[in-house]
């Protein structure tokens, strides 16, 4: 089994085409269907890694602090990311609770963790031991991370409850916004080809 | 005639995009770089996608007719469907929020089901109709799908925040499970659908 080089296949329409020479920050698109084939991002690994470190820090803070708290009659209730799933679980909506936990906590955490591990390893000059597992994990998990959708949910809840009680946005929600920005920045800097080229240099 | 990976006997890894040759003896094997199982097309793409699509369509009905949120305050018990929830925001004067929830919970799921139906039916019929447009439609469906989850998150946050020691109690209604299921099933549907099926009939015809 060997790989064919200098020819790429479009992942969305299967057309074989010759690889174009790209200038920095340029995107190669499929000649037939317009799908993005690859990009050239100078310093892709270092930049992605920098944003991932930021994302990991924000993600931990977002999980440790309340996103919203409600105050009425001298009492207050707070909601954290995990607490939202917990509340649904206690309300006997266990499947929905598990889904909320997975899309807002578990899978985003796995994505950030797997990418940190992969890019951090090659940055330190090592081929990650669980290379193929971690790579496929990050790819498989990506469509299922919904932190950004949860943030809109927080804003909607804040407006809805503000008619009835005093609602305060907690540290968690700012950290969540930070984590979302950092992950998007990391993904926009991430180019799998650069990663695999580095792995090859390291002699996988 | 276009040269495609399929016609050239090559396999593209769907995880790391490496173009591979099949193993000796014609077996597809695994990607030598990342270990993903290789297939010329996603296996049983249309059958799987149709299954998820039909299930999503069925569950769409209870998701919209059953109560999504039930709240008890000291003075009243109210129960709202998803559309009813949008109306409450609108009547409270929160027009932007009403619009966001309407778009995320009503427009996106319907548009997504219609789009998936079009993609599946035209691929099944091997239609040559506007392939570039359908390819773009597939990309849009794939991107916007997750935004329908907003309503589920709002429900969870309200349940967590509103408890009887403060202003009343909120409970999630029976619509939330089918609603969440529709979001998940349509995501599975778009992940199962292989966009290369849009182009295959044209590559084989000429």
Run of H or E including B4 = none
Q: How far is CA B164 from CA A79, A137, B161, in A?
A: 15, 42, 10
Interval A140-147 mean pLDDT: 95
Alpha helix locations (H) across A65-130? 81-90, 94-101, 107-123
Structure confidence at residue B22 (pLDDT): 86
DSSP E strands in A55-179: the ranges are: 68-72, 75-79, 166-169
Does the predicted TM-score (pTM) go above 0.90?
A: yes
Q: How far is CA B156 from CA A86, B8, B123, in A?
A: 9, 51, 38
CB A28 within 8 A of CB B132: no
Same domain membership, residue A190 and residue A147: yes
Nearest chain B CA: its distance from A84 CA (Å):
5
Better-predicted residue by pLDDT, B9 or A179: A179
Interval B172-198 mean pLDDT: 95
Give the Cα separation of A56 and A9 in Å (integer): 34
Smallest CA–CA distance from A95 into chain B, residue:
B177
pLDDT above 70 coverage of chain A, percent: 97
Grade residue A1 by pLDDT with cuts at 50, 70 and 90.
Answer: very low
Grade residue B175 by pLDDT with cuts at 50, 70 and 90.
Answer: very high
With beta carbons under 8 A apart, name residues in chain B contacting A111.
none
Report the phi/psi class of residue A73: left, alpha or beta, with left for phi > 0 and alpha for psi in -120 to 50: left
Give the Cα separation of A166 and A141 in Å (integer): 37
Q: Which fold has domain B44-205?
A: Butyryl-CoA Dehydrogenase, subunit A; domain 3 (1.20.140)
B4 and A9 within 8 Å at the Cβ level: the answer is yes
Same domain membership, residue A74 and residue A30: no
Interval A90-115 mean pLDDT: 96
Structure confidence at residue B78 (pLDDT): 82
Mean pLDDT over all residues of chain A? 93
The count of CB pairs under 8 A between chains A and B is: 217
Same domain membership, residue A80 and residue A23: no
Same domain membership, residue A179 and residue A87: yes
Q: Is the pLDDT of residue B179 over 70?
A: yes
Smallest CA–CA distance from A38 into chain B, residue:
B17
Smallest CA–CA distance from B174 into chain A, residue:
A93
Chain A interface, mutation test: which of B30, B76, B90, B160, most A Cβ atoms within 10 Å? B160
Q: Is the pLDDT of residue A2 over 60?
A: no
Q: Is the pLDDT of residue B205 over 80?
A: no
Least confident of B3-7, B35-39, B70-74, B184-188: B70-74
Nearest chain A CA: its distance from B154 CA (Å):
5
Structure confidence at residue B75 (pLDDT): 67
Q: Is the pLDDT of residue A125 over 50?
A: yes
Query: What is the residue range of A70's domain?
Result: 43-201
B163 and A77 within 8 Å at the Cβ level: the answer is yes
- Pairing verdict, β A166-169 and B19-20: unpaired
Of A99, A161, A192, the CB nearest to B161: A161
pLDDT above 90 coverage of chain B, percent: 72
Better-predicted residue by pLDDT, A173 or B206: A173
CB B58 within 8 A of CB B64: no
Interval B177-186 mean pLDDT: 96
How many independent structural domains does chain A possess?
A: 2
The 8-class DSSP code of residue A2 comes to -
Helix, strand, coil % over all residues of chain A, rounded to 5: 60, 15, 25
Highest-scoring range by mean pLDDT, A184-188, B92-96, B171-175: A184-188
Same domain membership, residue A115 and residue A182: yes
Give the Cα separation of B100 and B106 in Å (integer): 10
Structure confidence at residue A164 (pLDDT): 82
Give the Cα separation of B102 and A173 in Å (integer): 23
Mean pLDDT over all residues of chain B? 91
Give the Cα separation of B187 and B78 in Å (integer): 32
CATH number of the domain residue A85 falls in: 1.20.140
CB A131 within 8 A of CB B31: no
Annotate B122-167 with DSSP letters as a single string.
HHHTT--S-HHHHHHHHHHHHHHGGGGGHHHHHHHHHHHH--TTTT
Give B134: exposed, middle or buried? Use CB within 10 Å, 0-12, 13-18, 19+. buried
Nearest chain B CA: its distance from A82 CA (Å):
10
Q: Which of A105, A100, A97, A98 is nearest to A64 (CA)?
A: A105
Same domain membership, residue A70 and residue A54: yes
Of B12, B100, B157, the CB nearest to A84: B157
A131 and B34 within 8 Å at the Cβ level: the answer is yes
Distance of CA A145 to the CA centre of its chain: 6
Give the Cα separation of B55 and B181 in Å (integer): 9
Per residue in B29-63, pLDDT tens? 899 999 999 999 999 999 999 999 999 999 999 99
Structure confidence at residue A190 (pLDDT): 96
b/e burial code for range A107-144 (CB count within 10 A of at least 16 → b) = bbbbbbbbbbbbbebbeeeeebeebbebbbbbbbbebb
Structure confidence at residue B137 (pLDDT): 97
Structure confidence at residue A17 (pLDDT): 92
Structure confidence at residue A68 (pLDDT): 95
Chain B interface, mutation test: which of A14, A89, A133, most B Cβ atoms within 10 Å? A14
Smallest CA–CA distance from A144 into chain B, residue:
B146
Better-predicted residue by pLDDT, A119 or A23: A119
Give the Cα separation of A186 and A68 in Å (integer): 27
Grade residue A204 by pLDDT with cuts at 50, 70 and 90.
Answer: low
Grade residue A163 by pLDDT with cuts at 50, 70 and 90.
Answer: confident
Structure confidence at residue B39 (pLDDT): 94
A14 and B4 within 8 Å at the Cβ level: the answer is yes
CB B180 within 8 A of CB A99: yes
Long-range contacts of A79-86 (CB under 8 A, 24+ apart): A79/B157, A79/B160, A79/B161, A80/A172, A81/A105, A81/A150, A81/A172, A81/A176, A83/B160, A84/B153, A84/B156, A84/B157, A84/B159, A84/B160, A85/B156, A86/B160
A79 and B162 within 8 Å at the Cβ level: the answer is no
| Residues carrying CATH 1.20.140, chain B | 44-205
Q: Is the pLDDT of residue A4 over 60?
A: no
Grade residue B162 by pLDDT with cuts at 50, 70 and 90.
Answer: confident
Chain B interface, mutation test: which of A37, A128, A160, most B Cβ atoms within 10 Å? A160
Same domain membership, residue A47 and residue A15: no
Nearest chain A CA: its distance from B156 CA (Å):
5
Structure confidence at residue A49 (pLDDT): 98
Run of H or E including A38 = strand A36-39
Nearest chain A CA: its distance from B60 CA (Å):
16
Same domain membership, residue A27 and residue A115: no
What are residue B178's phi and psi, to 5 degrees?
-60, -35
Interval B154-158 mean pLDDT: 93
Structure confidence at residue B163 (pLDDT): 78
């Amino acid at each position: 089994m060997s790989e064919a080089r200098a020819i790429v296949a479009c992942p969305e329409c299967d057309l074989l085409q010759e690889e174009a020479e790209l200038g920095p920050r340029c995107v190669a698109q499929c000649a037939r269907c317009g799908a993005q084939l690859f990009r050239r991002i100078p310093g892709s690994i270092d930049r992605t890694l920098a944003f991932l470190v930021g994302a990991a820090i924000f993600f931990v803070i977002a999980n440790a602090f309340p996103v919203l708290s409600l105050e009425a009659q001298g009492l207050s209730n707070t909601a954290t990311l995990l607490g939202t799933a917990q509340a649904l679980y206690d309300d006997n909506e266990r499947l929905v609770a598990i889904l909320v936990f997975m899309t807002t906590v578990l899978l985003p955490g796995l994505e950030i963790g797997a990418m940190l591990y992969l890019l951090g390893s090659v940055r330190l000059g090592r081929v990650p031991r669980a290379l193929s597992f971690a790579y496929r994990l990050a790819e498989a998990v990506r469509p299922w991370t919904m932190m950004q959708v949860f943030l809109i949910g927080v804003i909607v809840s804040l407006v809805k409850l503000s008619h009835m009680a005093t609602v305060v946005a907690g540290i968690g929600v700012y950290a969540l916004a930070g984590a979302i920005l950092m992950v998007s920045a990391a993904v926009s800097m991430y180019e799998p080809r650069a990663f695999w080229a580095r792995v090859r240099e390291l002699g996988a | 005639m276009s040269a495609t990976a399929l016609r050239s006997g090559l396999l593209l890894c769907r995880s790391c995009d490496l173009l591979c040759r099949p193993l000796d003896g014609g077996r597809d094997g695994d990607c030598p770089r990342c270990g993903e199982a290789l297939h010329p097309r996603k296996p049983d793409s249309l059958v799987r996608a149709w299954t998820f699509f039909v299930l999503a369509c069925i569950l769409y009905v209870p998701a919209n007719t059953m109560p999504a949120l039930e709240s008890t305050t000291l003075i009243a018990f109210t129960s709202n469907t998803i559309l009813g929830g949008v109306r409450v925001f609108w009547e409270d004067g929160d027009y932007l929020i009403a619009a966001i929830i309407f778009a995320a919970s009503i427009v996106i799921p319907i548009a997504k089901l219609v789009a998936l139906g079009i993609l599946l039916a035209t691929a099944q019929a091997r239609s040559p109709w506007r392939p570039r447009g359908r390819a773009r439609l597939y990309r849009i469906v794939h991107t916007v799908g997750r935004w329908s989850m907003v309503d589920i998150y709002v429900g969870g946050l309200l349940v967590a925040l509103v408890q009887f020691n403060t202003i009343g109690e909120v409970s999630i209604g029976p619509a939330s499970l089918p609603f969440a299921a529709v979001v998940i099933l349509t995501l599975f549907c778009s992940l199962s659908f292989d966009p290369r099926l849009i182009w295959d009939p044209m590559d084989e015809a000429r």
